[in-house]
Chains A and B, each alone.
Chain A
């Protein structure tokens, strides 16, 4: 492939990953790693390195908009990022010890799990637009994990407070390990923890997940830079594409219904996860 054509194609891929990452609070790595390895035949170590950069770009690119719109809860993000950052450091340490084949299988299995968990969450809460504002737990009160935002879709002021902070944070720690191990934002786990366990409004979960995946990825970036996994000619077009895509995605999220988006997203996740697992088994 012509080098310039390759760089442009990767940037275009980045735009798509940025839009989807912004909408789902996912960081974009979940789309980039399979696309780079399966379509462009890029070595998975470089694909993971580029994905790490993509996660940081999505987080910061969306963060600027979602923080302004008060969708991101900075205090909640501040508390739970401790768990994801610790997990990420552990995961980055483990990544150097595992062969690429097992990374494929682990990554594919985690995707499959995310897709199934998401299906369940959508089915269980199909009619639920906003969570019932139950009493916050003691930890949430102590750490100031509550807030409010003006919902552009319904025109209402939505008040919320976190519940089950301890179990939510435990899931975040596991999400951090996955992030460090595979260079993905592991936003699916973050969103599920905030949405299902902590019972935060979906838009707050998505925006706050996007907020913390950047610092989580930054924690392991030092290790990946040192290992030489971040190739500038792959990471640069990815980063630029993602920043453009994230700008588009943040505008879209305010308008689109997230439930519809999730339903569309599940078959994509299922397909990609099975493809990754098969690749790991065959290699």
Chain B
């Protein structure tokens, strides 16, 4: 018996997706539990959701204050971190597949993966300048 089967592309990508999903779900759940324990005014937090206004909502916290909020254990910041990890999971699978293609001489697919990562980066830049 081989102790560890050689990793295929499917194994590598499947593992990234599963890890990302599990970690993100745990962080989001932790944030929700914290929110209930802390006992903030949840009604006020939810109020904007039902506002009929279609104007642009209040600006979200900047990345710096998000990090500070996580360090202080602020429930909403912890939830946001979990959501961020969830969003990064598909990005990570593009990266892992790209590395696999590059290592196995599939130059065309490695290049395409690189292009997709560049486009995703452009999306972040678009977000930052919105």
CB pair A228–B60 under 8 Å, yes or no, is: yes
- Which segment of A79-87, A108-116, A252-260, A268-276 sits at the interface? A79-87
A230 and B90 contact, Cβ closer than 8 Å, known pairs A89-B122, A96-B130 = no
Q: Could you say which of A75, A100, A215, A239 contacts B25, with CB atoms under 8 Å apart?
A: A239
Interface-forming stretch among A66-74, A130-138, A197-205? A66-74
Q: Indicate whether A42 reaches chain B with its CB closer than 8 angstroms.
A: yes
Does A13 make an interface contact (CB < 8 A)? Answer: no
Q: Out of B57, B109, B123, name the residue touching A78 (CB < 8 Å).
A: B109
B48, B86, B120: the one within 8 Å of A215 (CB): B120
The distance in angstroms between the C-alpha atoms of A74 and B9, with both chains bound, is 8
Say yes or no: A218-B115 contact (C-beta < 8 A), given A92-B126, A228-B59, A232-B83: no
Interface stretch of the complex, out of A53-61, A120-128, A152-160, A186-194: A53-61
Give the interface centre of B42, B97, B127 by most chain A CB atoms within 10 Å: B127
Q: Is the CB of A63 within 8 A of B112?
A: no
CA distance A61 to B10 in the complex (A): 15
Q: Which of B37-51 contact A (CB under 8 A)?
A: 42-43, 45-46, 48-51
B57-A61 in contact (CB<8A): no
Bitwise, A217-235 to B at CB < 8 A (1) or not (0) is 1111111111111111111
Q: Is B99 an interface residue (CB 8 A)?
A: no
Closest A residue, CB atoms, query B29: A240
Q: Mark B77-102, 1 if CB is under 8 A from A, else 0.
A: 00110110011111101100100010
Least Cβ–Cβ distance between A165 and chain B, in angstroms: 13
Q: Does B115 contact A82, Cβ atoms closer than 8 Å?
A: yes
A265 contacts chain B at the CB level, 8 A cutoff = no
Residues of A within 8 A of B120 (CB): 85, 215, 218-219
Cα(A49)–Cα(B11), bound, Å: 31
Q: Please name all residues of chain A whose beta carbon is closer than 8 Å to the beta carbon of B9 when the two chains form the complex.
A: 74
A56 touches B86 (CB 8 A): yes
Judged by a CB distance under 8 angstroms, whether A44 is at the interface is: yes
Chain B residues contacting A74 (CB-CB under 8 Å) are: 9-10, 13, 97
Residue of B50, B83, B113 with highest tally of chain A CB at under 10 A: B83
Q: How large is the interface on A (under 10, 10 to 19, 20 to 34, 35 or more residues)?
A: 35 or more
Interface SS of B by simple majority: helix
- Residue in chain B with minimal CB distance to A223: B127
Contact string against B for A residues 25-53, beta-carbon threshold 8 Å, 1 for contact and 0 otherwise: 00000000000000001111110000001
Judging by beta carbons under 8 Å apart, are B126 and A78 in contact? Answer: no
Residue pair B91, A64 in contact (C-beta under 8 Å): no
A67 lies within 8 A of B21 (CB): no
Residues of A within 8 A of B10 (CB): 67-68, 70, 72, 74
State whether A233 and B83 are in contact (beta carbons under 8 Å apart), knowing that A60-B21, A92-B123 are contacts in the complex.
Answer: no
Chain B 99-130, CB-CB to A under 8 Å as 1, else 0, gives: 00100001011001101100110111111101
Query: Does B76 interact with chain A (Cβ within 8 Å)?
Result: yes
Closest A-chain residue to B81, C-beta based?
A: A232
Name the residue of chain A whose CB is nearest to the CB of B110.
A78
B70 at the interface (CB under 8 A from A): no
Q: How far is the CA of A74 from the CA of B13 in the complex (A)?
A: 9
> Is the Cβ of B90 less than 8 Å from the Cβ of A215?
yes
Q: Closest A residue to B63 by CB, please name it.
A: A225
Q: B126 to A89, Cβ gap below 8 A? A: yes
**Cβ A222 vs Cβ B124 within 8 A:** yes
| Top 7 A-B residue pairs of the complex, sorted by shortest distance between their CB atoms | A222-B127, A3-B42, A214-B90, A226-B127, A64-B18, A100-B54, A215-B90
